[in-house]
């Protein structure tokens, strides 16, 4: 099963593999790791942020142009149960970027963020 969300602008698209579960687990915590997979199809290097509901944006990392990268999300962002998240991809040296639609994420999910070419 696959649920997809597309941002209102053409420069950002996001999808959630709702049934996908990561096999990576910490030895001290039984909560599965949640992964953000960024597929940057643009030539621009992008700073990637997560925007949890009711919180300020938190930088996850940089996705180099024309590359794919996996970012494990900190457990404080997806602690237990379902959490609504938005993601932001902003070209380096710019303060703002496109914001994805709200995506429901549970621990262990793999969220796929696709940055299309511009």
Give the model confidence (pLDDT) of 22-51 as tens digits: 444 444 567 899 999 999 999 999 999 999
CA-closest candidate to residue 111, choices 92, 76, 85:
85
Q: Can you give the pLDDT at residue 58?
A: 96
The model carries a pTM of 0.76
Q: Can you give the pLDDT at residue 93?
A: 87
Q: Can you give the pLDDT at residue 29?
A: 62
Q: What does the alpha-carbon distance between residue 110 and residue 118 come to, in Å, rounded to a whole number?
A: 25
User: Is pLDDT of 87 > 80?
Assistant: yes
Over residues 75-96, mean pLDDT: 92
| Domain 3-115 CATH (choose: 1.10.3470, 1.10.540, 2.60.40, 2.60.120) | 2.60.40
Q: Can you give the pLDDT at residue 96?
A: 85
Q: Can you give the pLDDT at residue 28?
A: 56
Look at strands 110-115 and 13-17 and give their pairing: antiparallel
Q: What does the alpha-carbon distance between residue 90 and residue 98 come to, in Å, rounded to a whole number?
A: 7
Tell me the domain boundaries of the chain.
Answer: 3-115
CA-closest candidate to residue 38, choices 27, 29, 26, 46:
46
Look at strands 34-40 and 83-91 and give their pairing: unpaired
Q: Can you give the pLDDT at residue 31?
A: 81
Q: Can you give the pLDDT at residue 23?
A: 44
Give the model confidence (pLDDT) of 45-76 as tens digits: 999 999 998 889 999 999 999 999 999 999 99
Q: Which residue has the higher pLDDT, 13 or 84?
A: 84
């Amino acid at each position: 099963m696959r649920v997809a969300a597309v941002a209102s602008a053409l420069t950002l698209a996001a999808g959630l593999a709702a049934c996908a579960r990561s096999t990576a687990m910490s030895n001290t915590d039984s909560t599965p790791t949640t992964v953000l997979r960024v597929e940057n199809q643009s030539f621009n290097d992008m700073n990637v942020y997560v925007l949890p509901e009711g919180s300020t944006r938190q930088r996850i990392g940089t996705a180099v142009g024309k590359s794919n990268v996996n970012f494990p999300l900190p457990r404080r962002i997806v602690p237990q149960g379902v959490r609504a998240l938005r993601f932001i991809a902003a070209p380096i040296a710019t303060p703002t970027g496109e914001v994805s639609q709200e995506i429901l994420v549970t621990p262990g999910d793999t969220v796929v963020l696709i940055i299309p070419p511009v």
